[in-house]
Amino acid sequence: MSASFLNNNRNKRSITLDLKSPSGVDAVKRLAATSDVVVQNFRPGVVERLGVGEEELRAVKPDLIYVSISGFGEIGPYSNRPVYDPIVQALSGLASVQGGSDKARPRLVRTILPDKLTAVTSSQAITAALLARERTGQGQHVRLSMLDSIISFLWSSDMGGQTYVGKEVSPQRAASFIDLIYETSDGHMSVAVMTNAQWEALCHAFDHTEWLEDPRFSTTELRDINIDARLGLIQAVLETQTTGHWMALLEEAGVPCAPVLNRSELMDHPQVQASGIIEENEHPKAGLLRQTRNAARFSVTETEFRRGAPQLGEHTREVLAEAGFSEEEIKALDTEGAI
C-alpha cells in the first residue's frame, strides 16, 4: 500500500464492481438509489456507454447529486484527450505564472496542484448542491474540469492584464529575481514587507534607516517597481547572520517572517505541533502512520478517524448488504464475476 494511497483513502471503504457486466451495472443503480451523491471521473461519454450516466441513475434516485469531473470538459478539441497534472499546469497558464513572467522559462508547481485543487473545488460544489437540494428538493448534475478549476483559481490574482476588455494587454512584467525566499548564513527564511509601517520596522531592525530616505522606496508602489533593488539590499543583510538571529530580531520588530522548513523539520515546528494537524494512527496492514487530521475543525460535527485506507474491494459484501442485497444475491454476483 503506497503512502499516497494510504493518505488519500483514509476513512473510505472500497468495493469492486465490473461495469461491463449487466449485473454490475444493476448493482451500481441499486447503490445509487441509497446515495446522496455519485461522483465519476471517466472521460466524457464513457459512463453513458456503460449505462451508469446521469439519466440512468436519476431514474432510480430523482434527487441525486450527480458529479462529473473531467480533465478538459465535455466539449472542445481537448475534451477526449488523456490528461495529467503537468498537462493542465501547462495549458492553464499556471506554469507561466510560476516561471515569473511571459518571457521567462515556464516552471511546474512541484505538487499536483490541479489534481488537488479540482478535488477541493468539487467538494465545495457538492456541498452547495446538497444545500440547494435541502432547500428545493431538487437534485442536479454538477460538472467541472481540472482546466476550468485552475483558470478560475488563478484569475483573481494573476490575470490582471486580461481583465479589462478592449484594453491593450502588455506582457506580464518579470517578477523579482528573488521570490521572497532569502538565504541566511545557515539556511533560508521568508520576509514579507507589505505596509509602510512594516517597511520602516524592517529598516530600523536592520540598522539601515537610510533606506527610508531612498526615493526608490518611498511608497508601496515605488517599492514594487524597484523590487529587485529593494530585495537585493534585504538579501545582502540577511546573509550575514543566522536564521535564528534574524527571526528573533524581526519578530520583536513586528516584521512578518518565517524560517523555511524542509519536510522533516516541519513536523517539529512548535506552531505545527500546537495546531495538532499531524496525528499518528495505527493501520492494520501498513502499521503506524503519520497523517494529517482534517484541516477544518467543526464545533458540532467533529471529524474522527474511523478506519485506515482499505484493501481493494475489502468492503464489497459489507456495502452491498447495507444497500439491501441478500446473501444469495451477493453470492450470485460473486459467481458471475460482477464483484
175 close to 106: Cβ distance less than 8 angstroms: no
Percent of the chain with pLDDT over 70: 97
Residue pLDDT, tens place only, 2-59: 999 999 999 999 999 999 999 999 999 999 999 999 999 999 999 999 999 999 999 9
Residue with cell 524597484: 226
User: How far, in whole angstroms, is CA 217 from its chain's centroid?
Assistant: 36
CATH code given to domain 33-179 = 3.40.50.10540
Pick 181-308's CATH classification: 3.40.109.10, 3.30.1540.10, 3.40.50.1370, 3.90.600.10. Answer: 3.30.1540.10
Start and end residues for every CATH 3.30.1540.10 domain found in the chain: 181-308
Torsion of CA 323, 326, 329, 334, to 10 degrees: 80
Q: 3-state DSSP helix/strand/coil percent for the chain, to nearest 5?
A: 45, 10, 45
Torsion of CA 77, 81, 86, 91, to 10 degrees: 0
Mean pLDDT throughout 90-114? 90
The 8-class DSSP code of residue 175 comes to: P
Residue 145: which of 92, 196, 203 has the closest Cα?
92
Instruction: Give every CB contact of residue 165 below 8 A, 6+ residues apart in sequence.
Output: none
At residue 296, the pLDDT reads 86
Start and end residues for every CATH 3.40.50.10540 domain found in the chain: 33-179
Instruction: Give every CB contact of residue 27 below 8 A, 6+ residues apart in sequence.
Output: 17, 320, 325, 333, 338, 339
Residue pLDDT, tens place only, 130-177: 999 999 999 999 999 999 999 999 998 888 888 888 876 666 666 666
Grid cell locating 339: 464483484
Mean pLDDT throughout 114-128? 96
The full length of the chain comes to: 339
316 close to 18: Cβ distance less than 8 angstroms: no
By CB atoms closer than 10 A (0-12, 13-18, 19+), residue 221 is: exposed
Tell which wins on pLDDT, 210 or 304. 210
Angstrom distance (rounded) from CA 293 to CA 296 = 9
Torsion of CA 132, 134, 137, 139, to 10 degrees: 50
Angstrom distance (rounded) from CA 277 to CA 290 = 10
